[in-house]
């Protein structure tokens, strides 16, 4: 996903619309109109009729076919109003209408593009209960808002599943390549939404595109299989990552909401997908897409997911792939669970052997190289210099490579923003015989394995620099490439991926984001048959499984684990489920060192990993939870946005019960001190609910801080009943001036449980650069 792109879209949107309407190109655009549902006059039988009349009332005279032509969606569950095509004049008139609460311009989101169950401890013999072995009690439905599904994949077999849960009210929408028989006890629902996409881009060409829930892109299939795929033995990508592929919750059901077409997801379609999913009865929503949130009240995704949360739906979202830049998060609303990405203990090693004999390890999924010819030394070339790492030919962009120079050689290319496999295609087309794809500073040491179309190896920033130096300084540089398949048990792991978007949460420093990290690097899951594993049209390979990286892959891990927790604890709120995940997360790797950050190699911070790495088995039994209900989140908004804007979040009333934003009962403690003057003391209040043994005692353990003193009162909690709530306060007072943020934790501890919340002491936010 390209977060930065969406950044300047909002402020300049109206200006662009003005220019376009004066030159009479598109006279109308899509807007999402929020309407006061309760204001419907009795003369209208239905809301749909009334919404049509509201839109009609602002139309230009002589325009008779408004309602049917212009209204694309009627939103009725988590959001009230319509999506409609409107001119700027009409928008201005609509904003004056007494029943209209807000008019949000359409925006376009991009997708945030198996070893993980084992790595997460879901496959050990003593945990059969949470595994596929016991499929009863799994009445949980996960709504996947994405690119659709490839229903023939074995991952979506419904063998052994009981009938569709009674609470399910969804439907199986048909279209080209998708009929009723493609839904089963696993895929319990499938719908598609394209009016927003078609309004912006033009009619979908039905001969080329499956205008149905069938997935032509692969992303949605991969995500759905990661959430709830049935176990499939002998899964692999062209022999790589061999093993049993399974989702996090193999007993859960999948409901498909296809809202993304050709990589674009329009907000009007996404909102309709969420609206219908909640009405259909999903328990969990999985959203591997997004854009930065500038303000809760202008972000229709925040507003719609607030409605989903109000109806008890757990919402899991990807954090974005714009790391390691600070302030790069998407989806930061506190009622969402914001998921960053980390590695698993599996790599696809390959090696570059330089002419000097030096051997450098990288990663590759390249297969299909049969004669082994690159085992010998071949000429090596880098068309760049120290000062031009982003020149087109240093990035091997289309048309930048001279065949006379690269033909018959192994070419070094810097990893930029273009599709990594496409870079290999450029090298291949120019006559190159192999490629070394070198990370630059911003990608750090993330090793993303790709299924390249020529022998190609990805190397980290440090090793990449060494290879480039060799190629630039030696008169006849050479290299050999070798591929070593799949290795597991790699240490250290997990490591936070460099691409995973980073905090701080620019919208509210008081709420730590991301919430958690989960596997998102080189993840194997089911794939579409309509596109090769590299997603390039030139790639004619057909595979059942593919390996992808991104927070798009980590989000569905959390969605699936939420489904597991929900099936074990059906009455837990979305906040309770999130708390269980966060307070049991770990912050150490398999070498017992602090979780590292791939962009620096040093220990990662909560701005990268949130509460830490998800630990599903512990999350099923967290001991204590930090609960929150819809009114709590509403009060959090009341404390910072105007009463007019509050109307967008439903018809609740502000009671102003939240003394400060930091008192939101979040499972993380985040405070910011003023930039100037002495650090004063800040006190945060929290309430924990006992979900462990009725009689249980906990004592507080706080890590040490350099610049502040942290005091917890009371320092012990004595529970005598199940579901009992006890409150405590944490006072953080300045000891000396900070030079930067400081991180630590508070743990409520007894012999059975360690309920950990991160503590972040930060300065005020750095203003957002535009
Ligand atoms: C919505 O309409 C109802 C009925 O007209 C009115 O009482 C209420 O104040 C309106 N709410 C808002 C937020 O305008
Ligand atoms: C499966 O789970 C259900 C509900 O949690 C439980 O009642 C049943 O005993 C379990 N069956 C097995 C074989 O573990
Ligand atoms: C490029 O950088 C390397 C390593 O820092 C240095 O040894 C070399 O002299 C530099 N080359 C040029 C042309 O600046
Ligand atoms: C408040 O909103 C809910 C959900 O939209 C609705 O069911 C309820 O009737 C509304 N209450 C009032 C007083 O408008
Ligand atoms: C900061 O604290 C010091 C020592 O407690 C005190 O002397 C000084 O006046 C304080 N400054 C401000 C601006 O409050």
Q: What atom of ligand 2 comes closest to residue 135's alpha carbon?
A: 1
| C-beta of residue 436 within 8 angstroms of C-beta of residue 352 | yes
Q: Which of 146, 275, 299, 597 is catalytic?
A: 146
Q: Which of 112, 219, 452, 557 is catalytic?
A: 219
- CA–CA dist 748, 726 (Å, integer): 12
What does the pLDDT read at residue 291?
A: 84
Question: Is the CB–ligand 4 distance for residue 651 below 6 Å?
Answer: yes
Question: Is the CB–ligand 3 distance for residue 96 below 6 Å?
Answer: no
The residue whose CA is least distant from atom 11 of ligand 2 is 134
Both tokens assigned to 14: 């109206």
Which ligand has the shortest distance to the CA of 473?
3
Q: Which of 386, 387, 388 to mutate to test the pocket of ligand 3 (most atoms within 8 A of CB)?
A: 386
Kindly give the distance from the C-alpha atom of residue 185 to the centroid of ligand 3, in angstroms, as a whole number. Answer: 61
Could you list the mean pLDDT of each consecutive 10-residue stretch along the chain, which spans 770 residues? 30 32 57 95 94 89 60 94 94 95 92 62 50 57 98 96 94 97 98 96 93 96 96 89 89 96 94 98 96 91 97 97 93 98 91 95 76 80 82 92 96 90 94 95 88 92 95 95 87 94 94 97 95 89 94 97 93 98 97 94 97 96 98 98 95 94 97 69 95 98 92 98 98 79 96 97 50
- CA–CA dist 457, 445 (Å, integer): 13
E strand or H helix that includes residue 347: strand 346-347
| C-beta of residue 241 within 8 angstroms of C-beta of residue 486 | yes
- CA–CA dist 650, 648 (Å, integer): 6
| Residue pointed to by tokens 């991952």 | 155
Kindly give the distance from the C-alpha atom of residue 293 to the centroid of ligand 4, in angstroms, as a whole number. Answer: 27
Q: Which of 34, 35, 37, 38 to mutate to test the pocket of ligand 1 (most atoms within 8 A of CB)?
A: 38
The residue whose CA is least distant from atom 14 of ligand 3 is 386
Q: Which residues line ligand 2 (CB under 6 A)?
A: 129, 134, 136-137
CA triple 110-172-533, angle to 5 deg: 40
Beta-carbon contacts of 384 under 8 Å, excluding residues fewer than 6 positions away, are: 391, 393, 394, 412, 414, 468
Q: What atom of ligand 5 comes closest to residue 677's alpha carbon?
A: 13
What's the distance, Cα to Cα, between the start and end of the chain in Å?
A: 18
Kindly give the distance from the C-alpha atom of residue 134 to the centroid of ligand 2, in angstroms, as a whole number. Answer: 6
- Residue 219 falls in the annotated catalytic set: yes
Let me know if 549 is exposed, middle or buried by CB neighbors in 10 A (0-12, 13-18, 19+): buried
Kindly give the distance from the C-alpha atom of residue 38 to the centroid of ligand 1, in angstroms, as a whole number. Answer: 6
Q: Which domains does the chain have, with CATH numbers?
A: 4-110 (3.30.70.80), 116-344+500-617 (3.40.50.200), 349-485 (3.50.30.30), 665-762 (2.60.40.2310)
- Residue 391 falls in the annotated catalytic set: no
| C-beta of residue 480 within 8 angstroms of C-beta of residue 378 | yes
Kindly give the distance from the C-alpha atom of residue 137 to the centroid of ligand 2, in angstroms, as a whole number. Answer: 7
Q: Which of 76, 651, 652, 653 to mutate to test the pocket of ligand 4 (most atoms within 8 A of CB)?
A: 651
Kindly give the distance from the C-alpha atom of residue 678 to the centroid of ligand 5, in angstroms, as a whole number. Answer: 6
Helix ranges, 259-349 (H):
267-280, 300-310
Kindly give the distance from the C-alpha atom of residue 734 to the centroid of ligand 5, in angstroms, as a whole number. Answer: 12
Kindly give the distance from the C-alpha atom of residue 735 to the centroid of ligand 5, in angstroms, as a whole number. Answer: 12
Q: Which of 552, 554, 559, 672 is catalytic?
A: 552
| C-beta of residue 33 within 8 angstroms of C-beta of residue 84 | yes
pTM (2 decimals)?
0.90
Quick one: which of 86, 120, 99 has its CA closest to 35? 99
How do beta strands 754-762 and 669-672 pair?
parallel
- CA–CA dist 594, 596 (Å, integer): 6
Kindly give the distance from the C-alpha atom of residue 107 to the centroid of ligand 1, in angstroms, as a whole number. Answer: 28
> Strand, coil or helix: what is 480?
strand
Q: What atom of ligand 1 comes closest to residue 651's alpha carbon?
A: 13
- Residue 146 falls in the annotated catalytic set: yes
Question: Is the CB–ligand 3 distance for residue 469 below 6 Å?
Answer: yes
Quick count: other Cβ atoms within 10 Å of Cβ 15?
9
Both tokens assigned to 118: 């084992």
The residue whose CA is least distant from atom 12 of ligand 2 is 134
- CA–CA dist 397, 211 (Å, integer): 33
Q: What share of the chain is helix, strand, coil (3-state, %, to 5)?
A: 25, 25, 50
What does the pLDDT read at residue 138?
A: 67
- CA–CA dist 102, 95 (Å, integer): 7
Q: What atom of ligand 4 comes closest to residue 650's alpha carbon?
A: 2
Phi, psi (degrees; rounded to nearest 5) at 456: -150, 145
The residue whose CA is least distant from atom 5 of ligand 2 is 137
- CA–CA dist 728, 702 (Å, integer): 14
Which ligand has the shortest distance to the CA of 652?
4
Q: What atom of ligand 2 comes closest to residue 129's alpha carbon?
A: 14
What does the pLDDT read at residue 24?
A: 37
The residue whose CA is least distant from atom 13 of ligand 2 is 134
Question: Is the CB–ligand 1 distance for residue 643 below 6 Å?
Answer: no
Question: Is the CB–ligand 1 distance for residue 97 below 6 Å?
Answer: no
């Amino acid at each position: 996903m390209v977060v930065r792109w969406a950044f300047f879209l909002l402020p300049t949107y109206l200006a662009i619309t003005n220019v376009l309407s004066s030159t009479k190109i598109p006279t109308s655009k899509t807007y999402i109109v929020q309407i006061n549902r309760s204001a419907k006059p009795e003369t209208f039988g239905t809301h749909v009729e009334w919404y049509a009349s509201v839109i009609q009332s602002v139309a230009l005279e002589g325009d008779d076919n408004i309602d049917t032509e212009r209204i694309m969606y009627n939103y009725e569950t988590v959001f009230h109003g319509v999506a409609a095509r409107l001119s700027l004049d009409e928008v201005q008139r609509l904003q004056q209408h007494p029943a209209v609460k807000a008019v949000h311009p359409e925006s376009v989101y991009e997708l945030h593009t198996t070893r993980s169950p084992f790595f997460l401890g879901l496959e050990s013999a003593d945990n059969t209960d949470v595994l596929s072995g016991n499929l009863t009690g799994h009445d949980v439905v996960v709504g996947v808002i994405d690119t659709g599904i490839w229903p023939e994949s074995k991952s979506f077999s419904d063998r052994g599943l009981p009938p569709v849960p009674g609470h399910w009210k969804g439907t199986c929408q048909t279209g080209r390549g998708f009929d009723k028989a493609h839904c089963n006890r696993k895929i319990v629902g499938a719908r598609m939404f394209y009016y927003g996409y078609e309004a912006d881009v033009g009619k979908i060409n039905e001969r080329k595109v499956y205008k149905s829930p069938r997935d032509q892109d692969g992303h949605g299939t991969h995500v759905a299989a990661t959430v709830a795929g049935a176990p499939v033995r002998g899964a692999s990508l062209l022999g790589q990552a061999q093993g049993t592929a399974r989702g996090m919750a193999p007993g859960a059901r999948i409901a498909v909401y296809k809202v993304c077409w050709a990589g674009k997801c329009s907000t009007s379609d996404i909102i309709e997908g969420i609206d219908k999913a909640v009405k259909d009865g999903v328990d969990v929503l999985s959203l591997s897409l997004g854009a930065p949130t500038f303000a809760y009240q202008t972000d229709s995704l925040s507003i719609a997911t607030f409605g989903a949360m109000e109806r008890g739906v757990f919402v899991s979202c990807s954090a974005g792939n714009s790391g390691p830049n600070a302030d790069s998060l998407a989806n930061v609303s506190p009622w969402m669970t914001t998921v960053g990405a980390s590695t698993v203990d599996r790599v696809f090693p390959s090696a570059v052997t330089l002419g000097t004999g030096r051997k450098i390890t990288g990663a590759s999924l390249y297969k299909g190289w049969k004669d082994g010819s690159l085992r010998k030394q071949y000429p090596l070339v880098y068309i760049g210099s120290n000062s031009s790492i982003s020149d087109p030919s240093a990035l091997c962009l289309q048309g930048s490579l001279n065949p006379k120079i690269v033909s018959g050689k192994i070419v070094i290319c810097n990893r930029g923003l273009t599709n990594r496999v496409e870079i290999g295609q450029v090298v291949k087309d120019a006559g190159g015989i192999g490629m070394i794809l070198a990370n630059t500073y911003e990608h750090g040491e993330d090793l993303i394995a790709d299924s390249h179309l020529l022998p190609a190896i990805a190397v980290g920033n440090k090793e990449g620099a060494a290879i480039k130096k060799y190629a630039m300084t030696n008169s006849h540089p050479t290299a050999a490439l070798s591929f070593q398949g799949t290795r597991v048990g790699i240490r250290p792991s997990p490591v936070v991926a460099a691409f995973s978007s980073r905090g701080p949460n620019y919208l509210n420093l008081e709420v730590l984001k991301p919430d958690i990290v989960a596997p998102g690097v080189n993840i194997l899951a089911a794939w579409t048959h309509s596109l090769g594993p590299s997603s390039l049209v030139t790639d004619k390979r057909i595979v059942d499984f593919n390996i992808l990286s991104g927070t798009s892959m980590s989000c569905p891990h959390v969605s699936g684990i939420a489904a597991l927790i929900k099936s074990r604890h059906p009455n837990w709120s979305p906040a309770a489920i999130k708390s269980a995940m966060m307070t049991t997360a770990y912050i150490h790797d398999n070498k017992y060192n602090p979780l590292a950050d791939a962009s620096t190699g040093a220990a990662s911070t909560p701005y990268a990993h949130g509460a830490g790495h998800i630990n599903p088995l512990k999350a099923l039994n967290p001991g204590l939870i930090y609960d929150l209900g819809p009114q709590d989140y509403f009060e959090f908004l009341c404390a910072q946005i105007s009463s007019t804007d509050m109307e967008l979040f439903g018809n609740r009333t502000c009671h102003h019960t939240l003394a400060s934003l930091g008192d939101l009962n979040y499972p993380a403690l985040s405070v910011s001190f003023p930039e100037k003057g002495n650090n004063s003391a800040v006190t945060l209040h929290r309430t924990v609910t006992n979900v462990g043994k009725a009689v249980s005692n906990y004592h507080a353990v706080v890590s040490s801080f350099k610049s502040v003193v942290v005091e917890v009162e009371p320092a012990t909690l004595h529970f005598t009943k199940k579901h009992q709530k006890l409150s405590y306060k944490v006072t953080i007072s300045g000891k000396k001036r900070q030079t930067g943020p400081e991180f630590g934790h508070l743990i409520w501890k007894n012999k059975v449980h360690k309920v950990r919340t991160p503590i972040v002491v930060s300065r005020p936010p750095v203003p957002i650069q535009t």
